[in-house]
Structure formats: C-alpha cells, structure tokens
A and B are shown apart, each in its own frame.
Chain A
C-alpha cells in the first residue's frame, strides 16, 4: 500500500534524523545517549568501544561546524530483530571542501523498548567517480 512503511523503516529513519540533527546542530555531547553501553564505533578505521569512549571521540572531532547532506539510506530488518542502516552522502566541515561519506549503523531494542545504536562504522569516501 503506497505510503505505508514497515516499522523498522520508520525506526531507522527516525534514528537517522535524530543522529545527524544532533551531530550537525548541537555540541554533540548528547550523541552518546543514542548508543548502547557496549556499542562499537569504528571511525575511519579506528575502533572505540562503549558509550563513553564513543562519546569522547565524537565530541572531540576537530571542526567547529559540520553539515551532512544525505543522498540515500538503505534500511533492513535483521534476523535478530535488529535494524541495519547504511547512509551515504556528503559532509562539509568548517571551510573544507565537501567530502563524500558513508556510514553504517545497527540498532537494537533495549528491554524498555527504546532503540539504541550498538554498531557504527564511518568512512569518508575515498574514490573519485569517473569523469
């Protein structure tokens, strides 16, 4: 039925919106709350484990302003009732040139029914598209 979305699609979209809104429009100090206690983040190949470590990394990223422009997002349910999300687009930090990025998230429901990010992998786009 046109217009109806699966629940995992809506949850995924809600998370994406919240994540990038906080990332771009706040001091990022609340971002850690989107993650589970034992979450894993891999940021440009560097691994971080646990909400505190992840929060410290995200808060300490060395730019004053950042904007993400999302080109697309793919969302899937997983067999263990989690949600897998892959986002891609461009970002612009301070006066740097725009750069491509893609990011993968996995979400899991906590016992109280709220969804948290358990896995996050971020990479800048590093290959040119052909002219």
Chain B
C-alpha cells in the first residue's frame, strides 16, 4: 500500500469530519472556521465564523445526509490544502441531488481550519 501524501491525509480527514458534523449537528461547525473564513453558499457570500454558522444552521431541513463520490486534494504554495469534493446529498424527503464543494484548509495553532468554502448544488444532467 502506497502511503498517501500528507495533504491527502489531512484533506480526507477534514472532509470526513466536516460532513460528519454537518450531517449530525451543524451547530458544531463553528470549530472548523475562523473569524476571517469566507463561505460562498449557492452564490451567496458569508464572512466570519459567526455568519457562516448562522447560515449553515438556518438551512431549512431537519435531516441531511452527504455521500461523497470523489475527493481531490492538493498542496498550495502557502502550505495550505485545497480540497474539492463531489457527491450527492439528501435533505429530508427531497430527491437526491448532486453537489460539489471546495475548501481551503490552513494550519492555525496546530489545527487545520477552513478559511474558504464554496458550495454548489449540481444543476446539469450528466451525459
């Protein structure tokens, strides 16, 4: 088994942690953002941990489940990590929808936080 590069290990762990929190208790997501983090959610901009968590906790569903199809991780020149996730999600009794989401992770005081987050639902058919 080939060892994964460090950025892939960190990226995968983050992704797993993020969706686990998101799907179980979105109020806990504050721990992964900072006061200067940026979120673009379906084209709408939010800045800072508080505004971001407020947006995420106010999303209008009771239940949500994400299923990750693919994830790509890269190191960036400033020692950050860029992660891109593709998958599907199901909110309440809505039909399953595709989504893609990008994150930039930065090491702050020995823990990896998310400084940039972009989320979009997939809106085009495949094929």
Report the separation of the CA atoms of residues A40 and B83 in the bound assembly, to the nearest whole angstrom: 12
Any B CB within 8 A of the CB of A112: no
Is there contact, CB below 8 Å, between A80 and B124? Answer: no
Q: Is A114 an interface residue (CB 8 A)?
A: no
Query: Does any Cβ of B come within 8 Å of A34's Cβ?
Result: no
Q: A37: shortest Cβ distance to chain B, in Å?
A: 10
Interfacial residues, chain B to chain A (CB-CB below 8 A): 36, 38, 40, 43, 45, 69-70, 72, 74-78, 80, 82, 84, 86-88, 95-98, 100, 102, 104, 106, 115-116, 118, 120, 122-127
**Cα A71 to Cα B43 with chains together (Å):** 12
Chain B, interface SS category:
strand
Please state if B82 and A124 are interface contacts (CB–CB under 8 Å). Answer: no
User: Total number of A-B contacts with CB less than 8 angstroms?
Assistant: 127
Measuring CB to CB, which residues of chain A are less than 8 angstroms from any residue of chain B? 36, 38, 40, 42, 45, 47, 71-72, 74, 76-80, 82, 84, 86, 88-90, 97-100, 102, 104, 106, 108, 118-119, 121, 123-130
How many Å lie between the Cα of A44 and that of B11 in the bound state? 17
Q: A-side binding surface: helix, strand, loop or mixed? A: strand
